[in-house]
A = this chain, B = another copy of it.
Amino acid sequence: MPGLFWVVPAAGVITVIFAALLARNVLNRPTGTPKMKEIGDIIFQGARAFLKRQYTTIAMYAAVIAIVIGVVVGLLTTPEEAVNIGVSQLGIGWRTSVAFLVGAFCSGLAGFIGMYIAVKSNVRCAAAAQRNLTEAVTVALRGGAVSGFLITALSLIGVTVIFFAYGGYSNPNIAPHLIVGFGFGASFVALFAQLGGGIYTKAADVGADLVGKVEAGIPEDDPRNPAVIADLVGDNVGDCAGRGADLFESTAAENIGAMILGIAAYLVTKNIAWILFPLGVRAFGMFASMIGIMFVRAKESENAMNALNRGYFIAIGLSIVGLAVTVHYMLDNWWLFLAGLMGILASVVIIYVTQFYTESRYNPVKSIANASKTGPATNIIMGLSVGFETTLATALIIGISLLLAFWFGEQSGVQGAGAFGTAVATMGMLMTCPYVLSMDTFGPITDNANGINEMAGAGPEVRKITDRLDAVGNTTKALTKGYAMVSAGLAAFLLFQAYIDRVNFLRPGNPMDSVNIARIEVFVGALLAAMIVFLFSSWAIKAVGKTASKIIEEVRRQFRADPEILNPKDPAHPHAPDYGKAVDITTRAGLREMIAPGLLPVLGPIVIGVIFRFIPGYDAAMVVAAVLMVGTIVGILMASFMNNGGGAWDNAKKMIEDGQLKDETGAVLGKKTFAHQAAVVGDTVGDPLKDTAGPSLHVLVKLLATITLVMSPLFIVAS
Q: A206-B377, A523-B402 are in contact. Are A382 and B528 (CB under 8 A)?
A: no
0/1 per residue, A374-403, Cβ < 8 Å to B?
111110111011111101101100110011
| In the complex, A406 has a CB within 8 A of chain B | yes
0/1 per residue, A505-532, Cβ < 8 Å to B?
0000000001111111101101110110
> In the complex the two chains form, is B530's CB within 8 Å of A637's CB?
yes
- Interface residue stretch chosen among A117-125, A575-583, A622-630: A622-630
Q: Identify A523's interface contact among B493, B523, B537, CB under 8 A.
A: B493
| In the complex, A309 has a CB within 8 A of chain B | no
A688 to B385 Cα, complex, angstroms: 11
Q: Identify A685's interface contact among B377, B399, B524, CB under 8 A.
A: B377
- Interface residue stretch chosen among A141-149, A271-279, A339-347, A539-547: A539-547
The distance from the CB of A372 to the nearest CB of chain B, in whole angstroms, is 12
A629 to B626 Cα, complex, angstroms: 12
> In the complex the two chains form, is B520's CB within 8 Å of A406's CB?
yes
The distance from the CB of A101 to the nearest CB of chain B, in whole angstroms, is 31
| In the complex, A284 has a CB within 8 A of chain B | no
Q: A378-B548, A516-B515 are in contact. Are A535 and B392 (CB under 8 A)?
A: yes
| In the complex, A210 has a CB within 8 A of chain B | yes
| In the complex, A496 has a CB within 8 A of chain B | yes
Please provide the chain A residues from 633 to 660 with a CB less than 8 Å away from any CB of chain B in the complex: 633-634, 636-637, 641
| In the complex, A316 has a CB within 8 A of chain B | no
Q: A403-B520, A516-B514, A681-B380 are in contact. Are A527 and B398 (CB under 8 A)?
A: yes
| In the complex, A491 has a CB within 8 A of chain B | no
> In the complex the two chains form, is B378's CB within 8 Å of A518's CB?
no
Q: A403-B520, A517-B517, A629-B517 are in contact. Are A388 and B526 (CB under 8 A)?
A: no
> In the complex the two chains form, is A633's CB within 8 Å of B527's CB?
yes
> In the complex the two chains form, is A391's CB within 8 Å of B531's CB?
yes
> In the complex the two chains form, is B206's CB within 8 Å of A418's CB?
no
| In the complex, A371 has a CB within 8 A of chain B | yes
Assembly of this chain: how many copies?
Answer: 2
| In the complex, A552 has a CB within 8 A of chain B | yes
> In the complex the two chains form, is B500's CB within 8 Å of A518's CB?
yes
| In the complex, A603 has a CB within 8 A of chain B | no
A471 to B448 Cα, complex, angstroms: 49
> In the complex the two chains form, is A375's CB within 8 Å of B545's CB?
no
A626 to B629 Cα, complex, angstroms: 12
Residues of B within 8 A of A210 (CB): 374-375, 377-378
Q: A374-B210, A374-B552 are in contact. Are A637 and B531 (CB under 8 A)?
A: yes
A561 to B399 Cα, complex, angstroms: 53
Nearest-CB residue, chain B, relative to A378: B545
Nearest-CB residue, chain B, relative to A407: B520
A385 to B534 Cα, complex, angstroms: 9
| In the complex, A17 has a CB within 8 A of chain B | no
Nearest-CB residue, chain B, relative to A688: B381
Q: How large is the interface on A (under 10, 10 to 19, 20 to 34, 35 or more residues)?
A: 35 or more
A375 to B684 Cα, complex, angstroms: 11
Residues of B within 8 A of A538 (CB): 384-389, 391
| In the complex, A216 has a CB within 8 A of chain B | no
Nearest-CB residue, chain B, relative to A391: B534
Q: A378-B210, A541-B385 are in contact. Are A517 and B637 (CB under 8 A)?
A: no
Nearest-CB residue, chain B, relative to A388: B538
> In the complex the two chains form, is A528's CB within 8 Å of B395's CB?
yes
Nearest-CB residue, chain B, relative to A515: B518
The distance from the CB of A265 to the nearest CB of chain B, in whole angstroms, is 18
Residues of B within 8 A of A422 (CB): 520
A82 to B633 Cα, complex, angstroms: 39
The distance from the CB of A518 to the nearest CB of chain B, in whole angstroms, is 4
Q: A395-B531, A545-B381 are in contact. Are A518 and B524 (CB under 8 A)?
A: no
Q: A376-B681, A381-B685, A545-B378 are in contact. Are A389 and B515 (CB under 8 A)?
A: no
> In the complex the two chains form, is B374's CB within 8 Å of A549's CB?
yes
> In the complex the two chains form, is B633's CB within 8 Å of A530's CB?
yes
Residues of B within 8 A of A629 (CB): 517-518, 523, 526
| In the complex, A321 has a CB within 8 A of chain B | no
Residues of B within 8 A of A384 (CB): 538, 541, 685, 689
Residues of B within 8 A of A165 (CB): none
| In the complex, A214 has a CB within 8 A of chain B | yes
> In the complex the two chains form, is B214's CB within 8 Å of A541's CB?
no
Q: A403-B520, A518-B629, A626-B517 are in contact. Are A395 and B545 (CB under 8 A)?
A: no
> In the complex the two chains form, is B377's CB within 8 Å of A681's CB?
yes
> In the complex the two chains form, is A685's CB within 8 Å of B380's CB?
yes
For A377, A399, A402, A552, the residue with the greatest tally of chain B CB atoms inside 10 Å of its CB is A377
The distance from the CB of A208 to the nearest CB of chain B, in whole angstroms, is 12
A514 to B622 Cα, complex, angstroms: 12
A82 to B206 Cα, complex, angstroms: 66
Nearest-CB residue, chain B, relative to A386: B538
The distance from the CB of A400 to the nearest CB of chain B, in whole angstroms, is 8
Residues of B within 8 A of A544 (CB): 381
Residues of B within 8 A of A684 (CB): 377-378, 381
Nearest-CB residue, chain B, relative to A489: B527
The distance from the CB of A394 to the nearest CB of chain B, in whole angstroms, is 8
Residues of B within 8 A of A542 (CB): 381-382, 385, 389
Return the 10 tightest CB-CB contacts between A and B, nearest first.
A388-B538, A377-B684, A514-B516, A395-B531, A385-B542, A391-B534, A389-B538, A515-B518, A399-B524, A406-B520
What are 18 contact pairs spanning A and B, CB under 8 A? A376-B681, A388-B535, A391-B530, A391-B534, A392-B534, A403-B521, A419-B520, A493-B523, A516-B517, A517-B517, A517-B630, A523-B629, A526-B630, A527-B633, A534-B641, A630-B633, A634-B634, A681-B681
A496-B523, A630-B630 known; 20 new pairs, CB 8 Å cut-off, are A371-B545, A378-B545, A378-B548, A378-B684, A381-B688, A385-B538, A385-B542, A388-B537, A402-B523, A403-B520, A496-B518, A514-B516, A517-B626, A517-B630, A518-B629, A526-B633, A527-B633, A534-B641, A634-B637, A681-B681
